[in-house]
Structure 1
Amino acid sequence: MPRLGKLEAAVMDVLWSADGALTVRDVLEKMPPQRNLAYTTVMTVLSNLHRKGMVVREPAGRAYNYRPTVSREGAAAASLREILDAADDPRSVLLYFAETASEEESTVLRDGLARRDSLS
């Protein structure tokens, strides 16, 4: 999964928070006003996200409707996978994470591993 720049991440946040597909205008209207973005800037970001495979677009008249191809959770998990794959010692990274995880996070991890093991 490609890394996202700050503006790409902000646009993806808008798409992930939406109930359905959005046009460029819809995304622009939902962006924080302090960003003060041009329509063409948002259009370029969405085109880049489409090229990267992060969004699909469907014709909607003379425009496109955009929707994410991956969930927020899926994107976060892919980023973690990328970090582990790039690490010289992924085992140490995982162990460090486990040592710093909260009790709730530890429980979630244990439950997830148990569920995975039961499917095998």
Structure 2
Amino acid sequence: MRRLGDLEAEIMDRYWRWNRPATVREIVDDINRHRDVAYTTVTTVTTILFHKGYLTRARDGRVWVYRAAATREIYAAALMEDGLAASEDRPAALLRFVECLDERERAALHQALRVVAPRPAD
């Protein structure tokens, strides 16, 4: 999975934060509160995101309503998995990754490992 481009990320951020279906018009109006972007540009990028599988869509009258196909966390996990796959030495890559974490993130990693750790057989 490749990393999202700037506008792709900006669009997906709204779908992830809002956690609801939204039209291109809603996305454009929200982005335009901070900077100017053309409706046609957002329509094009949203359609691309749909075809890449990041968004789902359904008709609501004459307009498409889009929704994130997966959570931001699933997207981030897929990026991390791809990063590991790029290494010939996954344990070394994991070590370097963990070295970059702060204490709070390391504690969260420890908790996640406890949750997924295999349980001893009875």
TM-score (norm 1): 0.90
Taking the TM superposition and a 5 Å limit, the aligned residue runs for 1:97-112 are: 97-112=97-112
Distance 2:109 2:95 in 1: 13
Distance 1:117 1:96 in 2: 21
The one-letter amino acid of 2:100's match is: T
Distance 1:46 1:33 in 2: 18
- Deviation >4 Å, runs of 4+: none
Distance 1:4 1:37 in 2: 18
Distance 1:95 1:19 in 2: 34
C-alpha displacement of 1:119: 6.2
Q: Residue 30 of structure 2 aligns with which residue?
A: 30
Q: How many residues get paired?
A: 120
Distance 1:98 1:3 in 2: 21
C-alpha displacement of 1:14: 1.1
Deviations 1:5-28 (A, max 9, x none): 111000001111114100010110
C-alpha displacement of 1:33: 3.6
Taking the TM superposition and a 5 Å limit, the aligned residue runs for 1:1-120 are: 1-118=1-118
Q: Which runs of 5+ in 1 are unaligned?
A: none
Deviations 1:35-77 (A, max 9, x none): 3111111111110000000000000111110000111111111
Comparing 87-96 and 45-54, the one that deviates more: 87-96
Q: Where is the helix percentage greater, Structure 1 or Structure 2?
A: 1
When the two chains are superposed, the root-mean-square deviation of aligned CA atoms in Å is 1.7
Distance 1:27 1:108 in 2: 33
TM-score (norm 2): 0.89
C-alpha displacement of 1:99: 2.1
Q: Secondary structure at the match of 1:58?
A: strand
Question: Is 1:14–1:31's contact at 8 Å kept on the other side of the alignment?
Answer: no
Q: Secondary structure at the match of 1:98?
A: helix
